[in-house]
Structure 1
Amino acid sequence: MARERETERENDECRPPIPAALVMSRVVGDVLGPFTPTADLRLLTSDGSIVFNGTSLRPSNVAAPPRLHIAPHHHFQGFYTLVMVDADAPNPSNPHFKEYLHWLVTDIPAAESSSGSGNEMVRYESPKPTMGIHRIVLVVFQQSRGRGRAVTAPQWRRNFTTREFSEANCLGSPIAALYYNCQRQNGTGGRRPPTLR
Protein backbone atom coordinates (compact mmCIF):
# COMPACT_ATOMS: atom_id res chain seq x y z
CA MET A 1 0.00 0.00 0.00
CA ALA A 2 2.77 2.45 0.93
CA ARG A 3 4.72 1.43 -2.20
CA GLU A 4 1.60 2.09 -4.36
CA ARG A 5 1.24 5.61 -2.89
CA GLU A 6 4.94 6.27 -3.48
CA THR A 7 4.66 5.11 -7.11
CA GLU A 8 1.55 7.28 -7.59
CA ARG A 9 3.41 10.30 -6.15
CA GLU A 10 6.38 9.64 -8.47
CA ASN A 11 4.03 9.41 -11.46
CA ASP A 12 2.40 12.72 -10.49
CA GLU A 13 5.82 14.35 -10.31
CA CYS A 14 6.72 13.03 -13.80
CA ARG A 15 3.54 14.35 -15.45
CA PRO A 16 4.01 17.59 -17.34
CA PRO A 17 2.20 20.49 -15.71
CA ILE A 18 -0.59 22.42 -17.38
CA PRO A 19 1.07 25.35 -19.17
CA ALA A 20 0.92 28.36 -16.83
CA ALA A 21 -0.48 30.55 -19.64
CA LEU A 22 -3.64 28.39 -19.76
CA VAL A 23 -4.15 28.84 -16.03
CA MET A 24 -3.27 32.56 -15.86
CA SER A 25 -5.56 33.37 -18.81
CA ARG A 26 -8.35 31.40 -17.12
CA VAL A 27 -8.72 29.06 -20.09
CA VAL A 28 -8.44 26.40 -17.39
CA GLY A 29 -11.52 27.33 -15.43
CA ASP A 30 -13.59 29.09 -18.11
CA VAL A 31 -13.29 26.44 -20.85
CA LEU A 32 -11.38 23.46 -19.45
CA GLY A 33 -10.99 21.75 -16.13
CA PRO A 34 -7.52 20.81 -14.88
CA PHE A 35 -5.88 18.19 -17.08
CA THR A 36 -2.54 16.50 -17.63
CA PRO A 37 -1.06 17.24 -21.06
CA THR A 38 0.03 14.06 -22.83
CA ALA A 39 0.80 15.68 -26.19
CA ASP A 40 2.23 18.91 -27.55
CA LEU A 41 0.13 21.03 -29.88
CA ARG A 42 1.83 23.19 -32.50
CA LEU A 43 -0.20 25.78 -34.39
CA LEU A 44 0.85 27.58 -37.58
CA THR A 45 -1.05 30.38 -39.30
CA SER A 46 -1.52 30.27 -43.07
CA ASP A 47 1.59 32.45 -43.50
CA GLY A 48 3.65 29.93 -41.52
CA SER A 49 3.93 31.90 -38.26
CA ILE A 50 4.12 29.76 -35.13
CA VAL A 51 1.47 30.52 -32.52
CA PHE A 52 2.23 30.19 -28.81
CA ASN A 53 -0.13 30.49 -25.85
CA GLY A 54 -1.17 34.13 -25.59
CA THR A 55 -0.03 35.20 -29.07
CA SER A 56 -2.01 38.19 -30.40
CA LEU A 57 -3.54 37.72 -33.84
CA ARG A 58 -5.91 39.67 -36.09
CA PRO A 59 -8.71 38.22 -38.24
CA SER A 60 -6.48 38.47 -41.32
CA ASN A 61 -3.97 36.11 -39.63
CA VAL A 62 -6.63 33.45 -39.07
CA ALA A 63 -8.86 33.86 -42.14
CA ALA A 64 -7.81 30.38 -43.27
CA PRO A 65 -7.79 27.33 -41.00
CA PRO A 66 -4.54 27.06 -39.07
CA ARG A 67 -2.25 24.10 -39.56
CA LEU A 68 -1.83 21.94 -36.50
CA HIS A 69 0.62 19.31 -35.50
CA ILE A 70 -0.10 16.99 -32.57
CA ALA A 71 2.94 15.30 -31.00
CA PRO A 72 1.98 12.71 -28.37
CA HIS A 73 4.39 12.17 -25.49
CA HIS A 74 3.86 8.40 -25.81
CA HIS A 75 3.22 6.12 -28.78
CA PHE A 76 -0.46 6.25 -29.80
CA GLN A 77 -2.23 4.44 -32.65
CA GLY A 78 -5.68 5.95 -32.91
CA PHE A 79 -7.53 9.16 -33.68
CA TYR A 80 -7.86 12.66 -32.26
CA THR A 81 -10.66 15.22 -32.08
CA LEU A 82 -9.94 18.96 -32.32
CA VAL A 83 -12.27 21.62 -30.91
CA MET A 84 -11.76 25.37 -31.49
CA VAL A 85 -13.88 27.81 -29.47
CA ASP A 86 -14.13 31.50 -28.62
CA ALA A 87 -14.26 31.79 -24.83
CA ASP A 88 -15.38 35.43 -24.96
CA ALA A 89 -18.21 35.64 -27.52
CA PRO A 90 -19.75 38.04 -28.37
CA ASN A 91 -17.49 40.25 -26.21
CA PRO A 92 -15.34 39.72 -23.12
CA SER A 93 -17.52 42.04 -20.98
CA ASN A 94 -20.66 40.04 -21.72
CA PRO A 95 -19.74 36.58 -23.05
CA HIS A 96 -23.30 35.26 -23.20
CA PHE A 97 -22.58 33.15 -26.31
CA LYS A 98 -19.54 31.49 -24.77
CA GLU A 99 -18.31 29.17 -25.86
CA TYR A 100 -18.73 29.84 -29.58
CA LEU A 101 -17.67 26.85 -31.70
CA HIS A 102 -15.43 27.88 -34.60
CA TRP A 103 -14.22 24.46 -35.74
CA LEU A 104 -14.64 20.75 -35.03
CA VAL A 105 -12.45 18.11 -36.65
CA THR A 106 -12.66 14.41 -35.76
CA ASP A 107 -10.86 11.25 -36.86
CA ILE A 108 -7.44 12.92 -37.11
CA PRO A 109 -5.09 9.94 -37.52
CA ALA A 110 -2.33 9.84 -34.91
CA ALA A 111 0.05 8.71 -37.66
CA GLU A 112 -0.52 11.98 -39.56
CA SER A 113 -1.36 14.21 -36.57
CA SER A 114 -2.61 17.21 -38.52
CA SER A 115 -6.06 18.75 -38.75
CA GLY A 116 -6.01 18.58 -42.57
CA SER A 117 -6.27 14.79 -42.49
CA GLY A 118 -9.39 14.52 -40.32
CA ASN A 119 -13.16 14.75 -40.79
CA GLU A 120 -14.34 18.38 -40.58
CA MET A 121 -17.67 17.97 -38.73
CA VAL A 122 -18.19 21.69 -38.20
CA ARG A 123 -16.74 23.87 -40.96
CA TYR A 124 -13.99 26.31 -39.98
CA GLU A 125 -15.36 29.79 -39.28
CA SER A 126 -12.60 32.34 -38.80
CA PRO A 127 -12.76 34.46 -35.64
CA LYS A 128 -13.91 38.04 -36.33
CA PRO A 129 -14.26 39.80 -32.98
CA THR A 130 -16.11 43.12 -33.14
CA MET A 131 -15.36 44.24 -29.59
CA GLY A 132 -12.59 43.46 -27.13
CA ILE A 133 -9.89 40.84 -27.13
CA HIS A 134 -11.09 37.25 -27.38
CA ARG A 135 -9.40 34.05 -26.20
CA ILE A 136 -9.56 31.53 -29.03
CA VAL A 137 -8.94 28.07 -27.56
CA LEU A 138 -7.90 24.94 -29.43
CA VAL A 139 -8.32 21.66 -27.57
CA VAL A 140 -7.26 18.15 -28.61
CA PHE A 141 -8.87 14.98 -27.30
CA GLN A 142 -7.89 11.37 -27.87
CA GLN A 143 -10.83 9.44 -29.34
CA SER A 144 -11.64 6.30 -27.42
CA ARG A 145 -13.87 4.48 -29.94
CA GLY A 146 -11.99 4.63 -33.22
CA ARG A 147 -12.69 6.31 -36.54
CA GLY A 148 -16.16 7.48 -37.45
CA ARG A 149 -17.96 6.30 -34.31
CA ALA A 150 -16.74 8.47 -31.48
CA VAL A 151 -18.12 11.96 -31.98
CA THR A 152 -21.48 13.49 -32.84
CA ALA A 153 -21.75 17.00 -34.25
CA PRO A 154 -23.41 19.64 -32.09
CA GLN A 155 -26.64 21.30 -33.22
CA TRP A 156 -25.35 24.88 -32.91
CA ARG A 157 -22.20 26.96 -32.55
CA ARG A 158 -23.40 29.38 -29.84
CA ASN A 159 -23.23 28.30 -26.21
CA PHE A 160 -21.21 25.23 -27.05
CA THR A 161 -19.55 23.74 -23.95
CA THR A 162 -16.27 21.90 -24.46
CA ARG A 163 -16.58 20.03 -21.16
CA GLU A 164 -20.12 18.81 -21.90
CA PHE A 165 -19.15 17.87 -25.46
CA SER A 166 -16.22 15.82 -24.18
CA GLU A 167 -18.41 14.05 -21.64
CA ALA A 168 -21.24 13.34 -24.10
CA ASN A 169 -18.79 11.83 -26.59
CA CYS A 170 -16.70 9.88 -24.05
CA LEU A 171 -13.56 11.82 -24.96
CA GLY A 172 -12.25 12.25 -21.42
CA SER A 173 -9.79 14.97 -20.48
CA PRO A 174 -7.94 16.96 -23.12
CA ILE A 175 -4.46 15.78 -24.09
CA ALA A 176 -3.33 19.23 -25.29
CA ALA A 177 -4.61 22.80 -25.51
CA LEU A 178 -3.43 26.14 -26.79
CA TYR A 179 -4.99 29.60 -26.97
CA TYR A 180 -4.36 32.85 -28.77
CA ASN A 181 -5.84 36.31 -28.38
CA CYS A 182 -7.77 37.81 -31.28
CA GLN A 183 -9.26 41.28 -31.70
CA ARG A 184 -10.85 43.20 -34.55
CA GLN A 185 -8.57 44.00 -37.46
CA ASN A 186 -8.07 47.67 -36.51
CA GLY A 187 -8.47 47.22 -32.76
CA THR A 188 -6.04 48.67 -30.26
CA GLY A 189 -5.12 47.85 -26.71
CA GLY A 190 -4.47 44.59 -25.00
CA ARG A 191 -5.91 42.13 -22.58
CA ARG A 192 -5.37 43.21 -18.99
CA PRO A 193 -3.09 40.89 -17.06
CA PRO A 194 -5.02 38.57 -14.77
CA THR A 195 -5.31 39.66 -11.16
CA LEU A 196 -4.69 37.26 -8.34
CA ARG A 197 -7.60 36.79 -6.00
Structure 2
Amino acid sequence: MAASVDPLVVGRVIGDVLDMFVPTVTMSVYYGSKHVTNGCDIKPSITINPPKVAIDGLPDQLYTLVMTDPDAPSPSEPSMREWVHWIVSDIPGGTNPTRGKEILGYMGPRPPVGIHRYILP
Protein backbone atom coordinates (compact mmCIF):
# COMPACT_ATOMS: atom_id res chain seq x y z
CA MET A 1 0.00 0.00 0.00
CA ALA A 2 1.46 3.38 -1.01
CA ALA A 3 1.80 6.10 1.60
CA SER A 4 -0.13 9.28 0.93
CA VAL A 5 1.94 12.38 0.29
CA ASP A 6 0.83 15.76 1.59
CA PRO A 7 -0.23 17.99 -1.35
CA LEU A 8 1.60 20.88 0.34
CA VAL A 9 4.83 18.90 -0.03
CA VAL A 10 4.06 17.87 -3.61
CA GLY A 11 3.27 21.48 -4.55
CA ARG A 12 6.51 22.64 -2.92
CA VAL A 13 4.64 24.85 -0.46
CA ILE A 14 6.31 23.04 2.45
CA GLY A 15 10.01 23.70 2.12
CA ASP A 16 9.72 26.48 -0.46
CA VAL A 17 7.17 28.77 1.19
CA LEU A 18 6.52 27.38 4.68
CA ASP A 19 8.43 25.24 7.12
CA MET A 20 6.87 21.93 8.11
CA PHE A 21 4.01 22.54 10.55
CA VAL A 22 1.21 20.76 12.35
CA PRO A 23 -2.18 22.40 11.68
CA THR A 24 -4.04 23.46 14.81
CA VAL A 25 -7.32 24.44 13.13
CA THR A 26 -9.00 23.62 9.85
CA MET A 27 -10.10 26.10 7.25
CA SER A 28 -12.39 25.82 4.22
CA VAL A 29 -12.08 28.08 1.18
CA TYR A 30 -14.63 28.59 -1.61
CA TYR A 31 -14.59 30.75 -4.70
CA GLY A 32 -18.28 30.77 -5.56
CA SER A 33 -19.33 27.11 -5.52
CA LYS A 34 -15.75 25.89 -6.15
CA HIS A 35 -14.26 24.32 -3.01
CA VAL A 36 -10.55 25.13 -3.07
CA THR A 37 -8.30 22.42 -1.68
CA ASN A 38 -4.52 22.02 -1.52
CA GLY A 39 -3.14 21.64 -5.03
CA CYS A 40 -6.34 22.35 -6.98
CA ASP A 41 -6.42 24.57 -10.06
CA ILE A 42 -8.67 27.61 -10.29
CA LYS A 43 -9.17 30.11 -13.07
CA PRO A 44 -8.34 33.77 -12.35
CA SER A 45 -11.80 34.73 -13.64
CA ILE A 46 -13.47 33.25 -10.53
CA THR A 47 -11.14 35.11 -8.14
CA ILE A 48 -12.39 38.65 -8.74
CA ASN A 49 -14.08 38.69 -5.31
CA PRO A 50 -12.51 37.41 -2.08
CA PRO A 51 -13.06 33.74 -1.33
CA LYS A 52 -15.51 32.63 1.32
CA VAL A 53 -13.32 31.34 4.16
CA ALA A 54 -14.47 29.55 7.30
CA ILE A 55 -11.94 29.11 10.09
CA ASP A 56 -12.51 26.53 12.83
CA GLY A 57 -11.09 27.14 16.26
CA LEU A 58 -12.16 28.47 19.61
CA PRO A 59 -14.22 31.68 19.63
CA ASP A 60 -11.96 33.23 22.26
CA GLN A 61 -8.86 32.82 20.04
CA LEU A 62 -7.97 35.16 17.19
CA TYR A 63 -6.46 34.14 13.85
CA THR A 64 -4.74 35.92 10.98
CA LEU A 65 -5.29 35.10 7.31
CA VAL A 66 -2.60 35.95 4.76
CA MET A 67 -2.87 35.18 1.04
CA THR A 68 0.41 35.28 -0.87
CA ASP A 69 1.81 34.40 -4.29
CA PRO A 70 5.33 32.96 -3.97
CA ASP A 71 5.71 32.79 -7.76
CA ALA A 72 5.52 36.49 -8.71
CA PRO A 73 6.09 37.66 -11.35
CA SER A 74 6.77 34.27 -12.95
CA PRO A 75 7.10 30.73 -11.58
CA SER A 76 10.45 30.29 -13.36
CA GLU A 77 11.87 33.57 -11.97
CA PRO A 78 10.02 34.48 -8.75
CA SER A 79 12.00 37.66 -8.05
CA MET A 80 9.12 39.37 -6.23
CA ARG A 81 8.26 36.34 -4.17
CA GLU A 82 5.75 36.62 -1.47
CA TRP A 83 3.54 39.07 -3.27
CA VAL A 84 0.80 39.68 -0.70
CA HIS A 85 -2.79 39.58 -1.95
CA TRP A 86 -4.76 39.83 1.30
CA ILE A 87 -4.29 40.17 5.07
CA VAL A 88 -7.03 39.94 7.69
CA SER A 89 -6.20 39.83 11.41
CA ASP A 90 -8.12 39.28 14.64
CA ILE A 91 -10.54 36.74 13.14
CA PRO A 92 -12.40 34.97 15.96
CA GLY A 93 -12.23 31.18 15.75
CA GLY A 94 -15.34 29.52 14.32
CA THR A 95 -16.06 32.52 12.06
CA ASN A 96 -14.77 34.04 8.84
CA PRO A 97 -12.60 36.98 7.71
CA THR A 98 -15.56 39.39 7.62
CA ARG A 99 -15.42 39.28 11.44
CA GLY A 100 -11.74 40.33 11.51
CA LYS A 101 -9.81 43.49 10.68
CA GLU A 102 -8.78 43.80 7.05
CA ILE A 103 -5.19 45.06 7.07
CA LEU A 104 -4.64 44.76 3.31
CA GLY A 105 -7.66 44.72 1.02
CA TYR A 106 -8.17 41.70 -1.22
CA MET A 107 -6.39 41.81 -4.57
CA GLY A 108 -7.42 38.83 -6.66
CA PRO A 109 -4.85 36.72 -8.47
CA ARG A 110 -3.73 38.16 -11.81
CA PRO A 111 -0.71 36.08 -12.78
CA PRO A 112 1.15 37.83 -15.62
CA VAL A 113 3.03 34.69 -16.68
CA GLY A 114 2.38 30.98 -16.14
CA ILE A 115 0.54 29.11 -13.44
CA HIS A 116 1.03 30.48 -9.92
CA ARG A 117 0.54 29.05 -6.45
CA TYR A 118 -1.59 31.07 -4.06
CA ILE A 119 -1.09 30.31 -0.40
CA LEU A 120 -3.56 30.89 2.44
CA PRO A 121 -1.52 29.71 5.45
| Unaligned residue ranges in structure 1 (runs of 5+) | 1-18, 140-197
- Report the CA distance between 1:76 and its aligned residue: 5.6
1:51 to 36, 41, 47: 36
Which structure has greater helix proportion? 1
Map 1:1-197 to 2 at 5 A: 20-45=6-31, 47-72=32-57, 75=58, 77-111=60-94, 113-139=95-121
Query: Amino acid of the residue matched to residue 27 of structure 1?
Result: V
Where do 4+ consecutive residues of structure 1 move more than 2 Å?
Answer: none
Contact 1:81 1:105 in 2 (8 A): yes
- Report the CA distance between 1:48 and its aligned residue: 2.2
State the match for 1:184 in structure 2.
Answer: none
Q: Please give the alpha-carbon distance, in whole angstroms, between the structure 2 residues aligned to 1:32 and 1:110.
A: 22
State the match for 1:191 in structure 2.
Answer: none
Q: Please give the alpha-carbon distance, in whole angstroms, between the structure 2 residues aligned to 1:126 and 1:86.
A: 11
Q: Please give the alpha-carbon distance, in whole angstroms, between the structure 1 residues aligned to 2:61 and 2:24.
A: 14
- Report the CA distance between 1:123 and its aligned residue: 0.8
Cα RMSD after superposing both structures:
1.3
Q: Please give the alpha-carbon distance, in whole angstroms, between the structure 1 residues aligned to 2:13 and 2:59.
A: 26
Q: Please give the alpha-carbon distance, in whole angstroms, between the structure 2 residues aligned to 1:50 and 1:123.
A: 22
CA displacement, residues 163-182 of structure 1 (integer Å, 9 cap, x when unaligned): xxxxxxxxxxxxxxxxxxxx
Query: Amino acid of the residue matched to residue 30 of structure 2?
Result: L
| Unaligned residue ranges in structure 2 (runs of 5+) | none
TM-score by length of 2: 0.91
Give the fraction of aligned pairs with identical amino acids, expressed as a percent.
41
Query: Amino acid of the residue matched to residue 112 of structure 2?
Result: T
CA displacement, residues 132-171 of structure 1 (integer Å, 9 cap, x when unaligned): 11000001xxxxxxxxxxxxxxxxxxxxxxxxxxxxxxxx
Q: Which has the larger radius of gyration?
A: 1
- Report the CA distance between 1:96 and its aligned residue: 0.3
Query: Amino acid of the residue matched to residue 68 of structure 1?
Result: V
Count of residue correspondences: 117
- SS of the residue 1:138 aligns to: coil
Q: Please give the alpha-carbon distance, in whole angstroms, between the structure 1 residues aligned to 2:16 and 2:97.
A: 24
Q: Please give the alpha-carbon distance, in whole angstroms, between the structure 2 residues aligned to 1:43 and 1:105.
A: 14
- SS of the residue 2:117 aligns to: strand
